[in-house]
Each structure stands twice: as structure tokens, then as C-alpha cells.
């Protein structure tokens, strides 16, 4: 694993750092939108005075922090794969390149001592088969990283996903919402136990978990900046699912296919929503990472003065 000099220096000097996944770059968004959004997310973090730690696998090397030309190469490489946490060692041994999913990014972030991550939506329990569960969920349960997202991807079984997070003991904290958002929509009817409306109060909760020795991840969910109506999204999704069944799409190819089909069914609206929520989540993650360090500094100073 190679950590860029900028990120090493930021971690050593206690500056805020936020990890970014790259499966959205290789598989989640079409070209050239994928590169544009990746750059916008990094810029949003820098505007929040946080350092972006974009994670990927390049030529078998696990990378934490990409230079501009490396990010462009990943975004334009048609051969780049998509890797979960379980694939990292295999890809490294074979010298391959890939964008990292939430689970892989969590594993790498935890290994690099990065405590905050941003993504669009996490994986979860798939529709129709409760045993088909994304690796994101168990990895989240064993990685001490706070993840900012717009809930789980809309193509999933959201009630079962929320139940599985509860079973795994992952705290789900709403930011500015009382409902578990559905990626493209704020309306899911899934009530959350805990809501926070400022980074400061949210970070106090996160610190309380850590002081108790809690080593699982913490999922922070905020609604997308703009939202499709729940009924509109379900109608478009049913059509996309029907197209997937007709074409025999299964396994890892399902999510990219459905996201592309949804974009067609909504005449590109889901792509624009995806772009906006990714940037909004990065911005919030930067604020949280910055507040984390400020709260730690204040706590240390208070102990020293007492």
C-alpha cells in the first residue's frame, strides 16, 4: 500500500483527511462524467479544508491518494475492474488496476488510520434474495471508520438493509433527516432512531462510541440535495429490473446495469442527482473530519488545563 506524501503529512500533523471510493469512477458513472464528479468531490473536500484520500488499485499497488494524471488514467481505463475488500490481495498479486468499492475503501482507510470516508450510497441486501448481501455491510461492521452517504443504493431492499445494519451493530445516524434516505429519494418511510443537525453534535456522538471502545463503523446518512418522488423512482426501477431480467444480468454486473438503466428511464435525472449527492456527501464528510480533530484538540487542551 502506498500512501501519498500529502496524506502522510496530513495524518502526521493531525489535519482532516477523508477517504473516497473509486468504483463510482470505474463503474458507477459514464465517461466523462465520472472524472468530472471525482474532481468535484476532491475539490469539495479541499474547500472544507480537508485532504482527499482517493483510494484505488493501480498496477497491483493499493493507493491512498491519487495525482491528477492517475485519477484521469483510472477514469479512462476501460480495462480497470471493480474490487471489493476480498479482491485487494488478488489484484495486488496480479498487477491489475481497479476502482475500490465501499468495502475495499473501508479496509484500506482503516489500514491507513483514516477515520472518515465519503461515498454516494452503500451496498446492502438485494431485492428478492435476503441472502444476497453486499460485502459493504460486514466490512462496515468491522472497520472503525465513519462513512457519510445518502443511505443505500435505491436498487436494494432498503428495509432489510436497515435491519441488517442493526443486527451488525452499526449505528445509523441521520444528518438533517428522520428517515433512512434511498439515494435518489428522501422518501422511504424508514424511520431513524437518531437525528443530528450539526457536525458538532454528530461528532460528539461518534466520540462517545469510540471512548466506549466501539470499533465498528458509523454510518451517517443525509438526504440527497434534490429528490425524485418515491413513486416515480419505484416505477423507473421496476422497468430497469425487468430489463435486467430479460437480458439475464446477474452478479456484480447488476448494479452498474441498473444504474445505467435508471438513468435512461429518468432521462438522465438520476445521473444529475448522483452527481449532486456525491459532492454534498464529500462536503459534509470534510466538515465532520475537521470537527473531529477540533473536538479532539479541545478535549486534550481541557485535560491539560485541568
pLDDT-based confidence at residue 256 (cuts at 50, 70, 90): confident
Average pLDDT over residues 151-161: 94
Give the pLDDT of residue 205: 96
Closest CA to 71 of 107, 104, 31, 103: 31
Q: Are 203 and 295 in contact (CB under 8 A)?
A: yes
Give the rounded percent of residues in the chain with a pLDDT score beyond 90: 85
- 247 is known as an active-site residue: no
For the ranges 29-43, 97-111, 257-271, the lowest mean pLDDT is seen at: 257-271
- 153 is known as an active-site residue: yes
Predicted TM-score of the model (pTM): 0.94
Domains of the chain: 2-305 (3.40.1790.10)
Residue 89 has pLDDT above 90, yes or no: yes
pLDDT per position as a tens digit, 195-224: 999 999 999 999 999 999 999 999 999 999
For the ranges 27-36, 95-104, 152-161, 242-251, the lowest mean pLDDT is seen at: 242-251
- List 21, 42, 179, 265, catalytic entry: 21
Average pLDDT over residues 144-156: 95
pLDDT-based confidence at residue 101 (cuts at 50, 70, 90): very high
- List 42, 82, 153, 265, catalytic entry: 153
Distance CA 87, CA 65 (A): 19
The three cell numbers of residue 213 are 471502545
Amino acid at each position: 500500500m502506498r500512501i501519498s506524501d500529502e496524506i502522510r503529512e496530513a495524518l502526521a500533523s493531525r489535519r482532516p483527511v477523508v477517504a473516497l471510493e473509486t468504483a463510482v469512477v470505474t463503474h458507477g458513472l459514464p465517461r466523462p462524467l465520472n472524472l468530472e464528479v471525482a474532481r468535484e468531490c476532491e475539490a469539495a473536500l479541499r474547500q472544507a479544508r480537508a485532504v482527499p484520500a482517493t483510494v484505488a488499485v493501480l498496477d497491483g499497488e493499493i493507493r491512498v491518494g491519487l495525482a491528477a494524471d492517475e485519477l484521469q488514467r483510472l477514469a479512462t481505463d476501460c480495462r480497470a475492474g471493480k474490487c471489493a475488500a476480498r479482491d485487494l490481495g488478488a489484484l495486488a498479486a496480479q498487477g491489475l488496476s481497479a476502482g475500490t468499492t465501499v468495502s475495499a475503501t473501508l479496509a484500506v482507510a482503516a489500514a491507513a488510520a483514516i477515520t472518515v470516508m465519503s461515498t454516494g450510497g452503500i451496498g446492502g441486501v438485494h431485492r428478492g434474495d435476503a441472502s444476497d448481501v453486499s460485502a459493504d455491510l460486514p466490512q462496515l461492521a468491522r472497520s472503525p471508520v465513519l462513512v457519510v452517504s445518502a443511505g443505500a443504493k435505491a436498487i436494494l431492499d432498503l428495509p432489510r438493509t436497515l435491519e441488517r445494519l442493526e443486527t451488525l451493530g452499526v449505528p445509523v445516524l441521520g444528518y438533517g433527516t428522520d428517515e433512512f434516505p434511498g439515494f435518489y429519494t428522501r422518501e422511504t418511510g424508514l424511520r431513524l432512531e437518531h437525528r443530528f443537525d450539526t457536525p458538532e453534535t454528530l461528532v460528539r456522538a461518534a466520540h462517545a462510541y469510540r471512548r466506549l471502545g466501539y470499533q465498528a463503523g458509523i454510518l451517517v446518512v443525509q438526504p440527497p440535495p434534490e429528490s425524485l418522488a418515491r413513486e416515480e423512482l419505484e416505477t423507473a426501477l421496476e422497468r430497469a429490473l425487468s430489463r435486467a431480467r430479460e437480458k439475464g444480468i446477474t452478479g456484480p454486473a447488476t448494479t452498474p446495469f441498473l444504474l445505467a438503466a435508471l438513468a435512461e428511464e429518468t432521462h438522465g435525472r438520476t445521473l444529475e442527482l448522483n452527481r449532486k449527492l456525491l459532492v454534498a456527501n464529500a462536503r459534509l464528510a470534510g466538515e465532520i473530519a475537521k470537527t473531529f480533530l477540533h473536538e479532539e484538540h479541545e478535549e486534550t487542551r481541557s485535560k491539560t488545563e485541568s
